Structure formats: structure tokens, C-alpha cells
Structure 1
Amino acid sequence: MDKMQRMEQLVEQLNQYNYHYYTLDQPLVSDKEYDLLYDELTALEAETGITLPDSPTGRVGGELLQGFKPHRHLAPLWSLDKAQNEEQLINWNNRVLRLIADYNSKNPDTPLPDPTYVVELKFDGLTLNLTYTDGKLVQASTRGNGVIGEGILAQVKTIKSVPLTIPFTAGTIEVQGEGIMNLSVLAKYNETAAEPLKNARNAAAGALRNLNPRTTAERKLNAYFYNVGYSDGIRFSSHQEMVAFLKENRFKVNPHVTYHDSFQEVIDVLHTIVDKRSSLDYLIDGAVIKITDMRTREVLGYTDKFPRWAVAFKFEAEETTTVLESVTWNVGRTGKITPLARVEPVELAGVTVQNCTLNNVGDIERKNLKFALGTRVFIRRSNDVIPEILGKVTEEQDGGEIVYPVNCPACGFPLEQRGAHLFCNNRLDCKPQIVSRITHFASRDAMDIETFSEKTAEQLHDELNVREPAELYTLTFEQLIKLERFGEKKANNLLKAIEESKGRDLASFLYALGIPNTGKSTTKVLADHFRDLDKIMNATVEELTELPDIGGIVAESIVSFFADPFMQAGIHKMLSLGVEAKPPQQAAPVTDSFFSGKTVVLTGTLHQLGRDEATARLEALGAKVTGSVSKKTDLVIAGEKAGSKLAKAQELGIPVIEDEDELIKLLNGQNE
């Protein structure tokens, strides 16, 4: 085989791997194998001085461009009429029904069918119009004014989910989609960016309209496609046919596309999309409703501005601007000092926002907020989570300075900066840390000490000088009865609950300790694997990283935690006072259930079962329940208000159960 043949072979092979990885989320080879082939192709291109048109090496971004050239679209890119509420949606549908009825009354021999509908997500990014001739990507442009856009072929080629060649070679087509930056990609980019990006929409638009394609490549954009606007070699009878064509030609089509026979179904699914909006890993600002039948679309036609056969339903904004008024500093259980921003009250996604998170001092620096007091800032609210400040509206440092504390705002101890965070290391005498640590220890998922609350922890700290969880097991009736609002019954109930907590299992005890960077799923993995507290306390980083869901950072946290003499002393004190930390019971493995051998992730709220009961029943049926979604995950169970785990599962194509009744049937063995 000569060098040119080998290059052609490598290009075809690498493009196939890219398609499976970036479009289908089904990698065929490891990163190492891919890199070896990519390096071989790079070396051959350097040696021959030839780069094939569809070579994946062209995706890294080329030379700086002199400017954008106008591109006239082969077919117009229409704007969509907008509906802000259900009433306006129903009015749009009634117009559609009237137009169809009017046509059918005049054309009884060739009537239009009853309308059916498709609902698609309305992405909040930058519209792309791609031109393919004889199977090759020859142009890419922005929407522009709908007739003429700007050519951005070099930039679009850096998006790895955009096919450079397609199987359809029978002429020219134009395909429309949306260039976006995934929220998880934006967050990772901003961790190290010298100039953080304020939001995903601007990040995508700015990257695609940047004259340096290398900048576009660095943003690691994504793209979804939803329409064939022009074609001289193929026609479609329905939207379903067109979407099938896109998939067959290696375009990435968003999985959230639904088809409906009644308009009430359309209304219902819009409510579902609103609920799921915050769990998606990309921005949407609404949904698009279209008639599926192509002949009906032709008959309905267009107004001067909009197609009559489609409408956009706009959601309430999740981003807005307001004035940053002040910043206060809170002390957490681990001693971490967290800034909380107070903003001028503003309506956002149906609520009045006054407080926003700022994460840490590193976040303040990255977002150019150091001198932002009294200035206008972008804020974003997702689901019920406290809103986040994204950055300043202007780039100027024209506001008051956010002064970082030097000493702990609670105890006055000198603060230490570790990475992007400030910490108070006064664990023994910093009240917020102590109260939070004891409250967490007594919580239901930890030692489950009934009737215990944060107020109880605060009272024990203030009046009995309780400084650590171990001291709960030394409390006496005589001490408690002297406390304000503590009668005999309350004192006895608390002592009984503390005594009963001694029998909690090993996983709960580990969770109660509050090991940094670990949650319930990680402590359960530790308990199930080691089955002994001493073995866990003496485990090495190497031993821990061999376990599922435990990476290097988590392993280091666990080892450091148990190496701390303060923690060791507290644990030994609890054990000497009767805490058992029982190893988990081992039941005979179930091998014949629907869940046997499956790796399952739970996310969101389960109203009938609850997460704990669902986990217990899944494990009893042979499933392994883990805390994070990966390509090794077999199934995700998503309850109400499922978050990023659901989004990742959908991106990876992992099966998802979103109906709790279906889950219960499967748990009961009804899987016919």
C-alpha cells in the first residue's frame, strides 16, 4: 500500500471512529488506539505535504482568517412565529385547522390528512446552515438575515459532531442545525481559562464568529441538526422521513424529538420539557412545534415572515441581569468559606431572586467580579437551585471591591487558601463547623439520630460544650434535663435515639464521618468492598482507585482523612463507647431478575419508593447501584427533577426509566 492509499484508509477509519464517538456516543476504540492512528496520519501528511479534504486533522483549526465572506442560502432560513402561552399555542393550532379545512372543502379529491405534530427542542446557540455537494461539506454559514449569512466553513469544521462527508452523493443539500457549547464543557473550560466565558450561548456564537478557527476548536463545540432546507436530489413525505435521512447521513439528531396525533399531547409534552429543562447539558429557550406532513406544509405556506406550519413556544428566561449589592461569607462543615452574593431583587423563572452563589474566591476572579459591587451582573437560575452569578455585564472594573476575608468570619482564626477556596482550620473551636459536623453526623442518612436537629446541635455546643460527634455518646440524662426546653421525655427520647444509633451499619457510619469528596454511594462502595473499618482506615490510594466510582482525588481525600490524628481519636472514642459500624450483610446473589448484573444509577426524586428503598430493592435483585453515569452504566432511573446525570445518560444513549410505576413493576418481577 502506498502512502496516499494509507492516508485515505486512515481518514476513513478515523472519521468512522469520530462518528461513533461524537455523534452516536458509542466509542469503538480506546483513546490510545485512536491517538496512534491519528499520529500516523499526521506524520504522513507532514511527509507528503498533502491533506485530504475530509481529514480529521483539519478540525484543529487553521490559519487566522482575514474576514467573513457573505453566503447566499440556496433556500431561505425562515424565522418562526412565537407563542408565549398555551392560549397563543391553541390559537396557532386553530388557524392550522381552519386552513386545512378550507383547503379540503375546495379540494375534496385530494384532501390533506388530519394534522399530526412534531415537538423539538429550541436550542439557544447559533444557527448553522451546511451545504453538501456530492457528499462533501463545501460550505457552512450563519443564518444572517435568512437570505444571506456569513461563511464560517473553517470554524464549523472544528466541530467533531459535524460530518465532513456524508453517504448521500446525489446532488446538493442544505442542512440546518444549531451550534452549541455544552454546559459541562463550558464549566470545564472556565476552570483554566484566562478569560472565562459568561454563558454557553455567547460562548458558542463567539467561537463560530471568531476569525481564528483555533479559538473555535478550543471551545469544543457540539451541534444538533433538525432540518433539510434545500435538496435537489431527494424529497420527503414527512418530518419522520427527513429525520431518518439525517440520521442515515451521520448528522447528530437530538433524542428529545417526539411525535403526537393530538394537540393536547403537544401541550402535555411541553410541560414535561419545561420540567426537564434544567437537567439538560445545554441551553434551550423553548420548543418548536411543526406539522409533520410535508404536503400540508406546502399548502399552508408562509406569511411574509413565518411558515404557517410551525411555531416556537418560548419558555420563561432562566438568565437575566441585576445589580450586585453585597457579599457575605459563610463557614461550612469542612471549614470551607463560601461567598454568598446579595443582589437587587429581580424576577427570574417565576421567582424573586435576592441571593446568588459565587462558589469561591477563584470563581470571583475568573468571572471578573473582584470589582463588581454596585454593577450589573448576569445571573442564571436552574430548577430550584440557588441562582449563580455568571459574570459582569461590562468588562470594566468599575465597581466596588469584594474584599476577601483574612480571618474566619465566625471565630477569627487566620484563613488559609487552598486552590480556589479559603478554609478555616480551627476545627476544634469554630462554631459553624462544629454544629454542621454534628448535625450531619446525626442526620437520617448517617447515624439517623431521631429528633436531632441543627438547633439541638447548637444548644449542645453552647450549653454543654459539645465539640465533636463522639461526645454525643457521653451525654447523660442529668446534663440534658438542665437544658432549656428539655423535659424528661425529650431528654430520654434523645438518649434512646443516640443509643440506637450505635448499631448503624458501616456504610452509614462512614457517611456520617463526613469524609470530603464522598457521598452515600462512595461510602457504600467502601463498606461493601472492605467490610471492615480498620481495613478502610488503612487502605492506600492505589487500593482505593481500583474500586468503581473512586478516582484519584476521592482516594486522596479518604487517605488524608483517616491519617488525621484528630479524626482517628474521634473514631476510636466512638468505638470504645459502643458504636459498632456493622459490616453489610451478604445475601445470596440474585441472577434471574431484570436487574441482575446491571450497573444502575438513581437520580431525581422517587415519590413512591424513595431513593433508599429503591437502592435496597435494586441491590437485592442483583444490581450494582453507583453514583455516577459512565459508559459502563447499564441503566439510569430518573425521578422528578433529575439533573445532570439524566442529561449525561441521554447523551451516552444509556437506557433510562423515567416512569416510577414501570420501575415498581420491574422490581416486582413484572417484566414480560
Structure 2
Amino acid sequence: MNEAQERMQELVRKLNETAYAYYVLDNPVISDMQWDRLYDELKKLEAETGIILPDSPTQKVGGDPLKGFEEHRHITRLWSLDKVQSLEELEAWIQRTEKLAEAKDLQYYVEYKFDGLTLNLTYRDGELVQAATRGNGVTGEAILPQARTIHSVPRKIPYKGLLEVQGECIMRLSTLEKYNKTAKEPLKNARNAAAGALRNLDPRVTASRHLDAFFYQVGTIENPPYDSQPGMLDFLRENGFQVSPYLGSSRGREALEACIREIEQSRSQLDWLIDGVVIKVGDYALRERMGYTEKYPRWGVAYKFKAEECVTKLLDVTWELGRTGKLTPLAHLEPVDFYGVTVRKATLNNLGDIQRKDVAIGCNVWIRRSNDVIPEIMGRAGDATEDEKPILKPEFCPACGSKLIERGAHLFCMNRETCRPQAVARLAHFAGREAMDIDGFSEKTAGQLYDQMGIRQPADLYALTPMDFLMLDGFKEKKAGNLADALEKSKHCELDAFLFALGIPNVGRKTARDLAQRFGTLERLKAADEEALTAIPDIGDIVAASVTEYFSFPENNQMIDRLIAAGVHPKEMAAASEGAFSGMSIVVTGTLPTLSRKEAEDLIRSRGGNAAGSVSKKTAFVVVGEDAGSKLSKAQSLGIETIDEAELLRRAGV
């Protein structure tokens, strides 16, 4: 190694160490001017030698623009947090949490709720190998070149196992101010500046914004060396990740309230946007016990700061079409700023909501924003004027021109055949991973099939052949054959996947599974009344009404009949009250010899059991495979029986 290369190694080490001190430890050890001099020296040596070291900070400047973002599937799902907006709602959450944890006086931790864009990083063997946006929590957009431009994103870390780290990409307010002093087009606010830069196809644009990131969650890890929230944050710091400078610790409502007030009062002094605080149970064993709902972890909640209200003018109302054919009014407003976020649109729920709030085009309205993307119109502000125009109920679909019908409080377009937006969205939902899981089928494919093949309903898909797919742009023989195979495979689906694929309003994946377990067959579910539906835990009046209403509409039953005629046969599922595991809560952990986790849990459900996600005193037994972790330890500590796969199969009668 020559002298220049040795100097380059020394510069890379020093620059990365000082960046770590600045971003992670919040303790700068050299001035910005000194750092820039070292950086410029490194760039000069790289140009002279033609050598760039893998972890050189000069690589955080962006590369050539990308043609488009690729889809990235997260290893572990990225969960959202449930929200509360008052101390009363927080108290109710605390009571639910204590009941689930079977303990009082829990230890909670409080952190900033950063107002930016979620960033999920993947490391293998200590190297950053992928970065992605949150997307829908299961899949996001791959943005590794963009993430590499962020100095607070480590390129290498000491931990060598597989790791996913979740954080928030932000633009500091001081950086925004500095950027706008010389920008040809000043940026309106820090949140949109960060989100727009991170999702820009040109990494050089991302680099020009000088973004930052704070990290707060480990999603995937092998053998975690911690068992609490502070321990996890220490692990992140030790590996070079910048974490929130605030971590409040409290027990009970009063202490939590003090933390919330402390943060709210200091909010204006921070160099970044926050829209609330995040409250988490600190003990990871308790988190395992508490588990998750279909959408949220039960051990954490976001306390959103008080909603902001102001007055602006309602300029127009358009009617947005969803995949079910329902139209929802969207208000277009005279732009107004909320803490640096420019609001131009607001929610109006339905025609009845418009009438109750007595609003009209041209009138001033009160709008409330709880730091969500779309605020809500609360009502009219001021008296009516001569310039106002009433918001008329549309008679025809804005997408296809079909006559609309009223069902309850909502308007629907019933044109399932030639109303393109709803047909394409319905096809894409039907084929989704958690629905019929037709691998290789995307919304783009749905649009191509609609335009070029006349596909209008899910049943039409099953008449297609590989030759048909070859007619589409981007399809070659292998891709066409794979999609045809995936379609054929999807005919033999699980009942819960089929129910979710139908797109019944208010029925998510978990609810679909609950319905399938309770009724076992599609015919029995269709015959169920609201009383039978609400007898299922976690299903209330709204969901029950949605299910019965869905099966009361002829067009929905006709769609189902066509699918069955096309060869789609949802498997009958044993009712939850029947089978060898009736009434039992059973947990599967680790890697089993022959069954996947899903196959083992499906077997448990098929025998009437509940495949639970966490161990508690109510657990009947735990099925243990290789590399079982904290769930095995929890079962042993509670004296709960553990069995292997062979014993599970024997008890199930397989």
C-alpha cells in the first residue's frame, strides 16, 4: 500500500469517526471548516489515484438518476402506531395496556414523534445492502442510492448479523433555512423537503438537501443483545445510528403527562418538526405477551399534539372514486400553512356531512389538522355571502359517466365493467399478496389487462393464457408463464384469503381470518346475520353491517358466482369450535423441520385452535423449532408445555 492510500484510509476513518461524534453522540470533536478540509483532501486523493474506498464519505453525494423505483419487500412488517389525542384517551390506553400485560404500574418510555418520512435500512454482514420507504408496511420503494447520501446513515456497522433498522428521514429546520437562502425555488417546509428528496429518482437531488435521520426501532435482528427499549437504543448508538436525544421514563398517567408537557413546551426550540410523542412499554418480554392487532402493536401508542385549527376558503369539491365504487367528496382549499406544512385539501365524509356542516364553494371554513396528511373541515366560518355556490350532489360518475345511486349516506358508481379506476383497483387488490397472492401481478399489469385485453372483473383473469400475457409490454415467455402458473395456483385458495380478496368494506386480513374460522364455508358466512357476526370477538356492529350489506347486493353475489364457475374453490375451514385444539391458544416459535410457520398455524386453526402471536398464562402449549427465542424462554418461565413439530402433528391427527 503506498503513502497516498494510507492517507486515504486515515482520512476515511477520521471523517467517519467525527461524523459519528456529530450525528450520534451529539458531541462534535472538530469544526465544520476542519471537516470540510479533510473531506476536500480525500476527494483530491481519490481523483489522483482513481481509488475510492468502500466506506468513503465522498460516496454520499448521489449517482446517476434512476429510471424508476423498484419494489422492496421488508423482511419484517413495519407497523403503524395507534393514536390518542387527549389525556382521557391516553388513560383508556393505559388501562387496556395494563390489562393485557396483566400488570400495574408499567415502565413506559417516551420519545419524539418525528414528522418526516419512514426509512427502513437492511444490513448484512455489517454492510448496508438496502434502504426502502415504508410503503404499505409490507412492501416499499427501494431507495438505497438516495439513503447513501445521508451522512447519519452508517454504511458499515459492527453488528454482523441480518438487521433491519427503522427510522425517520428529516430535514433539519436550520438546513432548510440555509438551503432556501440560495435556492432558485425555495422549499415550503421541512417535511415535504425530506420526503420529496428521499423519493427523488436523482440521488444528486437527495444529496443537495443534506438530509438527516433518527432511528428508533429494530425490526429484524438475529439474537438481539437487549431486552428493553433503552437497551435497544444503546445497541443502535453502539452501531453508529443517530437516535432521539430525548428519552423520557415514567410510570403512570401523571408522569406520562409531565413528559408530554415537557416535550410540547420545548417543541418550538427543536431543530426538526415533531407532531407528538411516542409512548412504548419498555420491557420486551411484556411486548411479546401483549402482541399486535391487525394494524398496530398493543404495546405502543402515539400521543398527537392538540389539533391545529384555522380559517381558509373552500374553492372546490371533487368526488374521488374508490375500488368499491364509492365516491368520497374531497375539498380543495385556498392554501394555508400549519406549522410549516401547506394544506390545500381537506376531508368531507359524504353528502350528509356536507349538509350538516352547511358549507358551500366560496365560503370560509374552519379546518382542523392533527398533523395528518389530509385535515378535516369542521364547519362554516362566518355568514353566507352572495358569491357562494352550493355543493351539488353529482348524478354521474366522474370517471365513466354512469348514473350514480345512493346507498345509505354514500354515492356509488355501479358500473363494474367499464369504470376503469375502480376496475383496475379491484383487480390489483384481488391479486394482492395477502389476498389471492398472484405473484407477478401488479396494478400496472391490471391496467394493461383492462386496456388491452378487456379484463373487467377478477373472474376474467382465469380465462387468460400465457400467450395473452405475451401481448403486454414488458412480458416475455418466462414472465408470462410464471403469471399464468400463479393464476392457476390461486384457484386453490384459503377461505380467509378469498374473503379478503373480495374487498368487503371494513374487512381486513385478520377479520377475514376470524370470519373464515367461525363459519368455515362461504355459504355459511353469506347466510349469517348481524347477531351471529357480532358474537365473534373483535367484530362490532360496523363490520357486521358491512358484511351483511355486501352479501345483500346482487352484483357482489354475481361476481362470486363467476369466480367459482371459473374454477376458484376456497378451501373449507374447520369452525373454531370444532377439532382437537378447540378453545386452545397455541404459539409457534422457531423454524420447524418440515412445516412453515404459516402451515403450522393454519393446521392449528383448522383443528379449532387459536394461533396466537405471543405467550401468556392462557397459552395451552408452545410448538418449538430450531432457533426459538424469547417465546420459548417465556413459556419455560411460566411453566407452559412445549412440544415439537412431530407431537403437534400427532395431536392434530395428521
- Taking structure 2 as the reference length, the TM-score comes to 0.47
- Taking structure 1 as the reference length, the TM-score comes to 0.46
